[in-house]
Each structure stands twice: as structure tokens, then as C-alpha cells.
Copies of this chain bind each other. A is one copy, B any other.
Amino acid sequence: MIRLRRESKPVFLKNKNDESDAKGIWIGGDHPVVVQSMTTTDTADYEKTLTQVYELAMEGCEVVRCTVQDARDAAGLLHIVKRSPVPIVADIHFDHRMALAAIQAGVAKLRLNPGNIRDYAKTKEVVELAIQRGTPIRIGVNMGSLAPDLEKTMGHTPEAMVESAMRHVQILEDLGHTDIIISLKAHDVLTTVFAYRLMDKRLAERETPYALHLGITEAGMLRDGTIKSSLGLGLLLFEGIGDTLRVSLAADPVEEIPVCWGILKALGLREKGFEITACPSCGRAEIDVLELGRSVEAIAKEYTAPVKVAVMGCVVNGPGESKMADVGVAGGKGKGAIYRKGELVGTFPEERLLGALRLEIEKVIAEQYPDYKHEIQLT
């Protein structure tokens, strides 16, 4: 149903100290769209950072980026890369020594705009080491940090972002590095969408279909950031553009992960955990839908199988909506009905409703996902 995905050159991410490839992940090609985030801790404080990496991974984050600003951060990175359950990306601002240290620490990827290093000999040193160690590089252009000359001549436009990124691409290509991923982030949804569309065209024309990392930068606080990212990144993914995504929220980064997954699930691109549909409640509701929904969410946290559950406040839409769900629950006065694919399983008093619902969910999992294990595994 969704537009065919654009062709892209896959890149493999793996912390270099991992002997096997089991903890590595592909970005691009026909591989699933990858969920990313970034730590907000001081990278030098590696224990604290690792705790956040684990929290992110537990929530479903598949690649984690850490900023590397100084030698203390670089030292911390060594520990993080060794103990991380997921590939680690080093975010380098412009200091080539940090880039070298990060590659040597064995990171799975660098986020680096090579043009920012300014000194060609230093750039060459970094890129050659990256080639030698097989370290892919993401070129990440943000609207807020365009090259001054491009900003002056082209303004804050999608064209300026693409042009800016292509300069960095050219530097890597000239040095023989083509394990490239590109991002073009603006805080404005429309600008971001047009920039990625333009980049898709540009890369297709020059026959270098590098993978694209999607993001809206500085998207905002929890609600606005969720809206802008869902809209902008969702639109691009709907058009087949995007191999990995990061939702930027001014919030605990762990909050970013369910948003990423929500976007991917809504577009049918990936599956993870319950899909809960819940009616918005109205004057017809004979049960507290919000309360019931929260209880179902609490149950959902215990499973990773993709069970569809419909939570309905009354029997008007209840049976209908639950036909499209694996399990449905509709409220009545002091009691509730449970449905299985729209067929009534039974009516239960309110105090027994959740127990009956859980039983039905367990049955669905046993029948539809016989290989499913009731535990959360990280690796």
C-alpha cells in the first residue's frame, strides 16, 4: 500500500570490538528502518551514559549516539563501546582528534561533517583511518549550521541544505570513503520534507543512492515534537524515503523511542508490541475508557508480540471495531464484553474484566505466535 522504498546503499554498523556480527545492524537497502537516539549524559561519565544506553535499548532503540567533545569523552567512549548492547555512534563537532579517538575506540559509526575540520591533511587522516577500520560516516547537515557562504547566497532553504551536504559527500568520495549516510534536519516540517525529497532526486541522478537518516531538529517539547516528527518523518517514510530515524524531543531521550516505533507501526513498516486502538470516549461511554486503556497499556508492557487490542467505551462501535482486532473489550454498565476477532467471548463483571482480557491475550499469543517468549531479551 505504501510507496515503494527508494533504493539505497546499505551500511553495516557494528562496534569494532564485537567479534561476531550478532549485535550489528544494517541501515539502508531492504533492511528494516532503524530506530536511533542520542544520550543526554556526559560521555566522560561512562557508567551514567551506559545506564542511559541500556534504558534506550530496553525501550527499543537500536543505535545510540554519544557526543565526543574532548579527551575525557573519548576515554569514556572506550568503555561505552565495549559494554554497549547496541552499536554506538560518536558525534564529532569539528575536532579531528576526537574523530580519530572515536574510530580507535571502535565506534560503529561517526557523525561528522568532514568539511568542518577545515585542514585537509587532518581530514584525510580521519577519513583514511575510517576506511581502514570500516567505520561508516553520517554527514549531518542542520539548517542552523549551514556553511556561511551557502546561507548567504541560498538562504535557509532545502536547496542550501542539500548543497551543503553534497560538499561533505564530495570530500569523502574524493578520499575513497563511500560508506555514507546523510541527514538534512530543519526544525520546520515542510523544509525538512522538501530537503529530503530533493536529496533523494540528487542522489538518484548521480547514481550514489546513499542511505538517509531522518530527523526534524529541535522539534520541540514532548507534544509538539511528537506531532512534528510524526508528520514530517511519517510523510517521508510514506513516500519511501528514509532508512533510519531519530525523533528529537526536548525530553528524556527514552521518550523518543515509542514515538519512533509508533510512526513505523502506524505505517505498517515494522511491528513491535501491542497495537491498542481506543475509542475517544463520548457521552455514550458506559465505562471509563481512559482507565481501561491505561490498564491495557500496563498489560502491554509485559509482551512484545504484536497483538491488536481494541478498547471501546460502549457496545455501539465495540463489536464492529473489535472485528479488526485480535481481542476487543467493550464497556457496559458495571460489566464488560470481551471479543475475539469480533466474536463475543463472554460478558464479565467489571472486577473480572481485566483478568478475562489477559487470558484472551495469552490465548492469542499461544495460537498466533507460538515461538513467542514471555520475556524481554536485549540481544
Contact = CB atoms under 8 A, between A and B. Distances in A.
B1 A317 contact: no
A316 B91 CA distance: 13
Interface in A138-161: 142-146, 156
Contacts of A252: 290
A12 interface: no
B142 A262 contact: no
A39, A91, A220, A284 pick with most chain B CB within 10 angstroms: A220
Interface in A23-71: 38-43, 49, 66-67, 69
A296 B284 CA distance: 38
Given A231-B267, A234-B234, A284 B69 contact: yes
Interface string A228-241: 10111011001000
Interface string A250-266: 11110010110011001
A39 B282 contact: yes
A235 B230 CA distance: 10
Nearest to A224: B262
A370 interface: no
Count of this chain's copies in the oligomeric assembly: 2
Main SS of chain A's interface residues? mixed
Contacts of A321: 142-144, 187, 217-218
B226 A156 contact: no
A293 interface: yes
Interface stretch (A97-105, A165-173, A203-211, A271-279): A271-279
B278 A250 contact: yes
Given A189-B267, A283-B43, A220 B250 contact: no
A70 to B, nearest CB: 10
Nearest to A238: B235
Given A40-B283, A263-B227, A280-B249, A221 B189 contact: no
A219 B281 CA distance: 11
Contacts of A187: 277, 310, 321, 324
A312 interface: yes
A333 interface: no
A256 B227 CA distance: 12
Contacts of A284: 67, 69
Nearest to A289: B250
B1 A279 contact: no
Interface in A270-329: 276-285, 289-290, 293-294, 297, 310-312, 316-317, 320-321, 323-324
A190 B41 CA distance: 38
Contacts of A279: 217-218, 248, 250
A43 B39 CA distance: 48
B223 A259 contact: yes
Would you list the 3 A-B pairs with minimal beta carbon distance, nearest first? A144-B320, A250-B278, A231-B234
18 contacts: A1-B194, A66-B283, A144-B321, A144-B324, A145-B316, A187-B277, A218-B277, A218-B317, A219-B277, A219-B280, A223-B258, A223-B262, A224-B262, A226-B227, A227-B263, A231-B267, A250-B311, A256-B280
Given A142-B320, A145-B317, A218-B321, 19 more contacts: A1-B190, A38-B280, A38-B282, A40-B280, A67-B283, A69-B284, A144-B320, A217-B279, A217-B317, A218-B279, A218-B280, A219-B277, A219-B280, A221-B293, A224-B276, A225-B278, A228-B262, A231-B263, A250-B293
